[in-house]
A and B are shown apart, each in its own frame.
Chain A
Amino acid sequence: MLTFIIRRLLIVIPMALLVVTVTWVLIRIAPGNFYSGEKKIPAAIEANIRKKYGLDQPWYKQYGMMMSNVIRGDFGDSLKYQGQSVNEIIIRHLPYSATIGVLAYLLALLVGLAAGTIAALKQNSLFDYGSMSIAMLGLSVPNFVLGPILILIFAFWVYVLPPARWGGISALVLPVITLGAIYAAYIARLTRAGMLEVLRSDYIRTARAKGLDERTVLFRHAFRGGIVPVVSFTGPALAGLLAGTVVVERVFAIPGLGNIFIQAVQNRDEPLILGIVAFISIMILVFNLLVDISYGFIDPRIRFE
């Protein structure tokens, strides 16, 4: 178990560096530069800019410089937001994205697990068909359609929630629902399928046969096996939440990390892009590791290689 964790942790760093390298190569091989725009820059000024940012060095030196900065965790200053370091910008904008992301996933877990479990217990009932049809609908409506429609209904037709703004709980409701809906739908479907399979297994029959009451059977025995698919979905869900926050932040004008990333990419603000990419990669890789570790606690039958 410990060796498993250490081995996986040792993979995280090279993987994150690989992602940073791929991103760096993509930015560098594309024609143009961050300073190339509509206006033509005089050659002398261009030479000065290139010198200041080390662009006059050979590529391997530039790569080495970039890599040593990244490894030290110092990405330097943003090119667009003068005088602000990349780390400052990330720390300033992360709380917005993290709040929405965590709340959305909690909402999805709550709704999805409850709906999925009840649907599995009352299989082929009206609730089962109803909740699964709603889940399918949730999977099919893109969040950039759902969000604006919710704004239209709750902010423009019925004046109960603000359309876009940060501050206060009321402003969180719509973004969190928009982001969480698709995951609630996924989790409900996974939970239902997982629970149906587990409820039919031998160890549940044994538990019932030895006279345990239904609640113990359900929560102590069935639930643990039934939610394994949900746990393995957490990894992809995290990556998806990330993409989702980009859209939701755009729709609701929230100054989160996703919005900053899109702006940085469009400005070709290299240090900021690399910083965000490295940060998010490490976060996703570490979360995937945590998910893998948690398998062993949830389902004792799963062993680490």
Chain B
Amino acid sequence: MDQALEDIKGASPWSDAWKRLLKNSLAVFGLIVLIVMILAVIVGPSIIEWTTGYTYDLVPAQHELVKAMPPSISHPFGTDDLGRDLLARVLQGGRISLMVGIISTFVSLVVGVSYGAIAGYVGGKMDNLMMRIVDIIYAIPYMLIVIVLLAVFGGPNTKALVTWIPQIVAGSLIFILGILLAVLIYRRMLAGFSSTAGLATQYPVKGLLIVILASALLGIIYLSSLAIGSTSLGPSLADWYGTNLSQGVSQIFLLFFALGLVSWLTMARVVRGQILSLKNQEFVIAAKATGVSPFMIIFRHLIPNALGPVIVYATLTVPAVMLTEAFLSYLGLGVQAPYASWGSLSFDGVKNLAIFPWQLIFPGVTMALTLFSLNFLGDGIRDALDPQTRKF
């Protein structure tokens, strides 16, 4: 009988969810379209270049008055105003659109998950403070600020932003360490007041030592940041940046920054809620009892268990971010020529809508198809990971 029991393989929740996902035909459709799309944008431009010689920024030397050609065998998607092959441009644009979506989502994952997990695990006043900050940022009409940010720092002005990178990094490090230090001192003080054998009598040396060490560390970082500010690290970084990266690329980095800045908020809320419901369960108490550090409890025990909603939310963040990117590029604030994204291609297409409609239809439909698949996949994953919602 024992043998028989061992033969039955327990299905893990993940393989179970995978099976449920495969039964959902719309989600599978989304997955397949997405895989094909990703393969196409990765290898497509190179294949087109080998076979026909067209690239996304190749302007053919022709002398006709109208350079925009309707779709034909040599140009399946037609050409744009300058005679550039639209298929190559749509694929190149897909690279940037998908990259923006994936990287910004990754940024929001890292920041949001860590932030939410720490807030949920620490709890109490700290949690309250951290979530209040999220609430405040949430209420800000960030689109206005993103538009202003991209408009004033776009183009040549990005260089100024690069010059300040060392100071910004040092400044935020000091800010984070300062908060940690304040919390540490606050906790020590609480411990000192609340217990009869408090801080002063119980750990007279250790408590003082921690505070002194932390202050010293803060001082060192502050001084070194001053030193960094006075050295030529920032300007030389800007020089390197100016010579090695074109303006189109700089705008893309600014986009990552602007989109990553706001997309982590909901993620932090989702993760915090999950952690709150998990942190008092037996396995966490067991881990605490065996002396696992809070850091390890959060990242080894709590986060893997909260992964379901995180994956669902991440899948739905990708299309949202891509839509925002397209919107900004459409306004002329995002990706700049000669680079293209689906948003900027649509913008170019709209200008000639009445005469050359294919210039809008191909990039627009490609983008809509991708977003459609992503949304269906996200819905499918949610249903698969959370079987309860399927009963409806």
A residues apposed to B, CB below 8 Å: 15, 18-19, 22-23, 26-27, 30-32, 123, 136-137, 139-142, 144-145, 148-149, 151-152, 156, 193, 196-197, 200, 239, 242-243, 246-247, 250-251, 261-262, 265-266, 268, 273, 276-277, 280-281, 284-285, 288
Contact A148 B376 (CB under 8 A): no
Contact A141 B140 (CB under 8 A): no
Contact B153 A30 (CB under 8 A): yes
Query: Within the complex, which residue of B139, B143, B375 is in contact with A136, where a contact is CB–CB below 8 Å?
Result: B375
Q: How far is the CB of B139 from chain A (nearest CB, A)?
A: 6
Inter-chain contacts of A196 with B (CB < 8 A): 392
Complexed CA–CA distance, A151 and B351 (Å):
12
Could you tell me the dominant secondary structure of chain A's interface residues?
helix
Contact A26 B361 (CB under 8 A): no
Report the count of interface residues on B (CB-CB < 8 A).
42
Contact A23 B392 (CB under 8 A): no
Q: Does B38 contact A (CB under 8 A)?
A: no
A-contact bits for B156-169, CB 8 A (1 contact / 0 none): 01001000000000
Q: How far is the CB of B133 from chain A (nearest CB, A)?
A: 12
Q: Does B287 contact A (CB under 8 A)?
A: no
Query: Within the complex, which residue of B148, B327, B375 is in contact with A139, where a contact is CB–CB below 8 Å?
Result: B375
Q: Does B353 contact A (CB under 8 A)?
A: yes
Complexed CA–CA distance, A288 and B145 (Å):
19
Contact A247 B327 (CB under 8 A): yes
Complexed CA–CA distance, A103 and B236 (Å):
53
B residues apposed to A, CB below 8 Å: 136, 139-141, 143-145, 147-149, 151-153, 157, 160, 319, 323, 326-327, 330-331, 343, 346-347, 349-350, 353-354, 357, 360-361, 364-365, 367-369, 371-372, 375-376, 379, 392
Contact B148 A136 (CB under 8 A): no
Inter-chain contacts of B160 with A (CB < 8 A): 30-31
Inter-chain contacts of B365 with A (CB < 8 A): 145
Query: Within the complex, which residue of A140, A193, A250, A281 is in contact with B319, where a contact is CB–CB below 8 Å?
Result: A140
Inter-chain contacts of A246 with B (CB < 8 A): 331
Q: How far is the CB of B120 from chain A (nearest CB, A)?
A: 19
Given contacts A273-B148, A285-B139, 15 further A-B contacts (CB under 8 A): A23-B145, A23-B148, A27-B152, A30-B152, A139-B375, A140-B369, A140-B371, A140-B375, A142-B330, A142-B343, A144-B343, A148-B349, A152-B357, A239-B143, A251-B350
| Known A123-B392, A144-B327, A144-B330: A265·B371 in contact at CB below 8 Å | no
| Known A144-B346, A242-B143: A136·B367 in contact at CB below 8 Å | no
Which chain A residue lies CB-closest to B373? A140
Total number of residue pairs linking A and B with CB closer than 8 Å: 127
Contact B353 A266 (CB under 8 A): no
Q: How far is the CB of A198 from chain B (nearest CB, A)?
A: 11
Please list the 3 inter-chain residue pairs (A to B) with the smallest Cβ-Cβ separation, ordered nearest first.
A145-B364, A30-B152, A140-B372
Complexed CA–CA distance, A266 and B143 (Å):
15
Query: Within the complex, which residue of B144, B152, B360, B368 is in contact with A281, where a contact is CB–CB below 8 Å?
Result: B144
Contact B326 A142 (CB under 8 A): yes
Inter-chain contacts of A251 with B (CB < 8 A): 350
Complexed CA–CA distance, A239 and B139 (Å):
9
Query: Within the complex, which residue of A15, A23, A139, A140 is in contact with B136, where a contact is CB–CB below 8 Å?
Result: A15
Inter-chain contacts of B139 with A (CB < 8 A): 15, 284-285, 288
Contact B347 A144 (CB under 8 A): yes
Q: How far is the CB of B310 from chain A (nearest CB, A)?
A: 20
Contact A26 B350 (CB under 8 A): no
Contact B331 A262 (CB under 8 A): yes
Inter-chain contacts of B360 with A (CB < 8 A): 145, 148-149, 152
Inter-chain contacts of A139 with B (CB < 8 A): 371, 375
Contact A26 B152 (CB under 8 A): yes
Contact B144 A19 (CB under 8 A): yes
Inter-chain contacts of B350 with A (CB < 8 A): 144, 148, 251
Which chain A residue lies CB-closest to B150? A265
| Known A30-B157, A140-B372, A145-B346: A22·B143 in contact at CB below 8 Å | no
A-B contact pairs, 30 of them (CB 8 A): A19-B144, A19-B145, A26-B148, A30-B160, A136-B372, A136-B379, A137-B368, A139-B375, A140-B368, A140-B369, A140-B375, A142-B327, A144-B326, A144-B343, A145-B346, A145-B364, A145-B368, A148-B350, A148-B353, A149-B360, A197-B392, A242-B141, A247-B327, A250-B330, A261-B144, A265-B147, A265-B148, A280-B141, A280-B144, A284-B139
Which chain B residue lies CB-closest to A182? B323
Complexed CA–CA distance, A281 and B148 (Å):
14
Contact A281 B354 (CB under 8 A): no
Inter-chain contacts of B343 with A (CB < 8 A): 142, 144
Q: How far is the CB of B20 from chain A (nearest CB, A)?
A: 17
Complexed CA–CA distance, A32 and B371 (Å):
38
Which chain B residue lies CB-closest to A14? B136
Contact A268 B327 (CB under 8 A): no
Complexed CA–CA distance, A148 and B362 (Å):
13
Inter-chain contacts of B357 with A (CB < 8 A): 152
Contact B157 A277 (CB under 8 A): no
Which of A136, A144, A273 counts the most B-chain CB atoms under 10 A from its CB?
A: A144
Q: How far is the CB of B37 from chain A (nearest CB, A)?
A: 13
Inter-chain contacts of B379 with A (CB < 8 A): 136
Contact A261 B147 (CB under 8 A): yes
| Known A31-B160, A139-B371, A280-B141: A149·B361 in contact at CB below 8 Å | yes
Inter-chain contacts of A277 with B (CB < 8 A): 141, 144-145, 148
